Amino acid sequence: MKVCVYGAGSIGCYVGGRLAATGTTEMFVGRPRIADETAEHGLRLTDLHGAELRVPPDRARVITKALDLTGVGLVLVTVKSAATESAAAELADVARPGTVVISLQNGLCNAAILRRALPERIVLDGMVQFNVAHQGGGHFHAGTDGGFAVRADPALSPYLSAFERAGLPLARHTELAPVQWAKLLFNLNNAVNALSGLPLREELSDRRFRRCYALSLAEALRLLRRAEIPVARLTPLPPSWLPRLLTAPDAVFTRLAASMLKIDPHARSSMLDDLDAGRTTEVDELNGEVIRLAQRIGQRAPVNARLVELVRAAETGGRRSWTSPDLLAELRGAGTEP
């Protein structure tokens, strides 16, 4: 059994690395800088509970182009959403018919893009619900808890035990869209975190930053109700209760949201990492999805639209490291507080 990770970034190296460390034959496709790093250091995979796995350099070799997928039965696509079409075009030339392809990307539309380009392959929606940070020297750290979900399909059967061994059991869902929307609601905080410039736990410990997230979240929930789109429950509390919880005083929030704050002190959103690295973020695939939903049903999403504008401005040299009072005032001016 051979698995190809197409997109050896933080998620790709962590998931693929855990599979490789527990006996699965891996092929990694990624950028030259990651290829150089893994050639020197191999992979070190850790999490907030103290787990540590290692993959030596000869088993963590990253190639920069998928030239030959002979023997590969499963491809995990972990590139940024903006690269999905180019990934699909390359895979169309090398992935044999019947290959299982799982999109482990942010947003709701990537699997559909892959499906159109790969008609003879089994393309499935998937999602990783935990945060991974690249700490250099081949070290990738999962700083939050979370599962691994995928749309159910019989073609996954040969791979289930490999994911179990890796500590990444596949939660299979007949309908993944409600789970994807639930994750997207949590990921709306990525824009707030990116603009704060702070680690996630520090940002979420500030009530005014939580109010910023609550504004974005409440707007999305209102639109989802109007569109009659179901959302899965991924936490003990229903999604509709989260804006109220987020706006609670710090002492109340800390007591009631202990699991939400179960985050490595240094964990950050991938959007903040992208801003720091000068890369284009995925804000269009997250907050932008709320804007597109609003447009489909003849509504507006002013809070999420303003967050997209602020992140886009930050990408091109605009304001970074917003204070919580300033960002809250900016978003209150765009919409109505819940």
Summary mean pLDDT of the chain: 93
> Cβ contacts of residue 86 below 8 Å, gap of 6+?
none
Q: What is the DSSP string of 92-141?
A: HHHSPTT-EEEE--SSSSHHHHHHHH-TTSEEEEEEE-S-EEEEETTEEE
Q: Please, what is the Cα angle at 38 between 32 and 39, to 5 degrees?
A: 85
| 3-class DSSP state of 155 | helix
- Residue 76 in tokens: 């995990």
The mean pLDDT value for 25-31 works out to 92
**What's the pLDDT at 52?**
95
The mean pLDDT value for 210-239 works out to 94
> How do residues 131-149 score in pLDDT, each as one tens digit?
898 999 999 999 888 888 9
**What's the pLDDT at 338?**
44
The CATH number of the domain covering residues in 179-334: 1.10.1040.10
Answer yes or no: is pLDDT of 214 > 50.
Answer: yes
**What's the pLDDT at 234?**
81
Give the confidence band of 335 by pLDDT, cuts at 50, 70, 90.
Answer: low
**What's the pLDDT at 26?**
87
- What is the C-alpha to C-alpha distance for residues 306 and 299, in angstroms, rounded to an integer? 15
The mean pLDDT value for 65-93 works out to 93
Give span(s): CATH 1.10.1040.10, the chain. Answer: 179-334
Share of the chain above pLDDT 70, in %: 98
Higher-pLDDT residue of 67 and 113 is 113
Give the confidence band of 264 by pLDDT, cuts at 50, 70, 90.
Answer: confident
Answer yes or no: is pLDDT of 230 > 90.
Answer: yes
**What's the pLDDT at 297?**
97
The CATH number of the domain covering residues in 2-174: 3.40.50.720
CB 83 within 8 A of CB 49: no
Answer yes or no: is pLDDT of 76 > 90.
Answer: yes
The mean pLDDT value for 288-303 works out to 97
Give the confidence band of 11 by pLDDT, cuts at 50, 70, 90.
Answer: very high
Give span(s): CATH 3.40.50.720, the chain. Answer: 2-174
Burial grade of 90 (CB within 10 A; 0-12, 13-18, 19 or more): middle
Higher-pLDDT residue of 237 and 313 is 313
**What's the pLDDT at 181?**
95
Higher-pLDDT residue of 315 and 66 is 315
Answer yes or no: is pLDDT of 305 > 80.
Answer: yes
Shortest CA distance to 12 belongs to which of 112, 94, 128, 164? 128
CB 63 within 8 A of CB 29: yes
What's the pTM value of the predicted model, to 2 decimals? 0.89
The mean pLDDT value for 229-248 works out to 90
